[in-house]
Structure 1
Amino acid sequence: MENYSMTQVETLTGINAHTLRIWERRYSFMKAHRTDTNIRYYSAEQLKTLLNVAILIRNGFRVSKIDKMKPEEIYQLVTEIQLSNTENVHDDINLLMVSMLEYNEEEFHKIFQKNVLRKGLLSTITELVYPFLNQVGVLWGTNKVSPPQEHFISNLIRQKIIAAIESLPLPLISAPTLMLFLLEGEDHELGLLLSYYIAKDLGWRVIYLGQRTPSENLKEALVQTNASFLLTMLTTPRSDNFLDSLQFISKETNTPILYSGNPNFTDTIKKETNFKYLDSPNAFINFLKSHSS
């Protein structure tokens, strides 16, 4: 059974550590475990309970009332909230986390499809999927869940995005072209796939090279495709090595490079003149729209 530190629980649930400590003193529903050195930690079941409690609190329930509920009552109320017409992306993010912790594909599909029906696929990706992946650390390789959980949820989302990309119409011959790639040593592909969907949905022609692209081969590909921009993601904490590769690509191709990733790994690169940092899907969308003509 997986265990989670207070920092992980704080990040995943949105409940701060101070509040968790107060609840532990005042109520009986949540008592952290402790290591031999007296450090708090939480089980997967406790994390699921806290995710559900956070949903109830956002929907008007008091902690003192929740404390008197049985686990099945909490689950039933959360289910009723999920089936209601209320729209709260934070609740759906929590529910996605629970589906991940339980390896529950059916629940994941229900939450995903509910959002697609309500607001469309692009908004579901930018407003639900991206924040969820960012919160659990999947996008930037700082995973706050176990590797099996990360692989389970990443592959479900990967399947959805690839199916969505396939369903989009082919771009016009005259459409601007964007080339997507990850440098050698980069394995976290979901952010790049999300970008693929967004660009194709906005009418761009996308050349998708995927993971571990040798930097010395990009010039030839750019000449053949006449791509206007390059896009990559930086997640692995080796920004100096990656900067050398990106500077080489920029010099060889004279093509503007768009990039995104964990800000801790990209501060050095932001000083480069031929590079454009994108801090969110909306920043990417706005850039593509402004360069579509």
Structure 2
Amino acid sequence: MRKYSISDIEKLTGLSTHSLRAWEKRYGFVMPNRTDSKIRYYTDDQLVTLINASFLLERGYKISAIADMSQKEISDRVLEFARDQNVAITDLVKLLATATLALDEDTIRAVIEDEISQSGFEATFLFLIYPFLQYLGVLWAAGKSLPAQEHFVSHLLAQRLNAELEEMSQGTKSPMIFALLDEEEHEIGLLLSCYLAKLRNIKCVYLSRKVPVENLQPVIELTNAKRIMTIFTIPPAEDTIVNLKSFLADSQTDLLYSGIKIDALDEQATFFANPQEFIDFLDQTS
């Protein structure tokens, strides 16, 4: 069980500490636990309830009415609103986050599929899923979510991206290699990059995870690819950087990457701070 301080809750929900304390006293709504030194802390379930409560408050519900609802009733009301075409992306992001913390697969799938039906696949991943992953990054960076929750939602998103990729025809433009190097494991960004390239008729050679740098050259020779796309979600090992710089010095291949910016690669690689920069690059060069 993860523990959230009252300041964590304020940051993640937008609810003020004053309101939280007032609701606690007046309605007994979301009573925090206490440490041995009497400091308040909240659990994952309580964070989910408070994010959902903030969602309903923004839509005219009174806190007195919300306090009388069960956790399931609150979640059901939020999901009803989420199906409204006028719901802001920021609210959908929070809804996906609460569903992730609760390991609620049905809600995650429903929100994503509803948004795809309204906005299309590319827009959904660019303007909903990408901000959602950034929001989760706040939780993960602070140690506020479990690795199991991270793997849970990553698996669902990878499934959906793979399903979409399988429906697409292979591109006919110059091939591009997509690979996570050495110890890198998180595929969502790489799958999205592959989708964006394939959408623009680029032939994608997808190598997946933990590809040793020394394996890239044989693939280049087989495919005649001139570009490699990768993602760094964790700082690469020094050996990886050294091997990569040596490979790039000897190769006629361009390295493209996103995620964490690696200063040591500034002169040999092209960095994209977000998916839109990668899209702009593809549109200008392919």
1:27 maps to which of 14, 23, 26: 23
Deviations 1:56-99 (A, max 9, x none): 2443446x556654336533432331233323112222222232
Aligned to 1:123: 123
Tell whether the 8 Å contact from 2:4 to 2:144 is kept in structure 1 after alignment: no
Please list every run of 5 or more consecutive structure 1 residues that lacks an aligned counterpart in the other structure. none
* Distance of aligned partners of 1:212 and 1:107 in 2 relative to their CA distance in 1, 3 Å threshold: same
Tell whether the 8 Å contact from 1:233 to 1:260 is kept in structure 2 after alignment: yes
Q: Name the count of aligned residue pairs.
A: 280
Q: How many angstroms does 1:205 deviate by?
A: 0.8
| 1:8-19 paired onto structure 2 within 5 Å | 9=9, 13-15=12-14, 19=16
* Distance of aligned partners of 1:238 and 1:225 in 2 relative to their CA distance in 1, 3 Å threshold: closer
Aligned to 2:246: 248
Q: How many angstroms does 1:114 deviate by?
A: 0.3
| 1:39-58 paired onto structure 2 within 5 Å | 39-58=39-58
* Distance of aligned partners of 1:57 and 1:275 in 2 relative to their CA distance in 1, 3 Å threshold: farther
Tell whether the 8 Å contact from 1:158 to 1:190 is kept in structure 2 after alignment: yes
Partners of 1:67 and 1:184 in 2: CA distance? 49
Q: How many angstroms does 1:229 deviate by?
A: 1.4
Q: How many angstroms does 1:121 deviate by?
A: 0.5
* Distance of aligned partners of 1:205 and 1:23 in 2 relative to their CA distance in 1, 3 Å threshold: same
| 1:160-175 paired onto structure 2 within 5 Å | 160-172=160-172, 175=173
Please list every run of 5 or more consecutive structure 2 residues that lacks an aligned counterpart in the other structure. none
1:217 maps to which of 202, 215, 218: 215
* Distance of aligned partners of 1:239 and 1:268 in 2 relative to their CA distance in 1, 3 Å threshold: farther
* Distance of aligned partners of 1:257 and 1:205 in 2 relative to their CA distance in 1, 3 Å threshold: same
Tell whether the 8 Å contact from 1:96 to 1:111 is kept in structure 2 after alignment: yes
Aligned partner letter, 2:165 = I
User: Do residues 290 (structure 1) and 263 (structure 2) align?
Assistant: no
Aligned to 1:3: 2
Tell whether the 8 Å contact from 1:141 to 1:235 is kept in structure 2 after alignment: no
Aligned to 2:204: 206
Aligned partner letter, 1:269 = A
Partners of 1:101 and 1:81 in 2: CA distance? 19
TM-score by length of 1: 0.84
Q: How many angstroms does 1:161 deviate by?
A: 0.6
TM-score by length of 2: 0.86
SS of 2:225's equivalent in the other structure is coil
Tell whether the 8 Å contact from 2:197 to 2:282 is kept in structure 1 after alignment: yes
SS of 1:25's equivalent in the other structure is helix
* Distance of aligned partners of 1:102 and 1:222 in 2 relative to their CA distance in 1, 3 Å threshold: same
Partners of 1:192 and 1:230 in 2: CA distance? 11
Structure 1 vs Structure 2: percent identity of aligned residues? 30
* Distance of aligned partners of 1:10 and 1:277 in 2 relative to their CA distance in 1, 3 Å threshold: farther
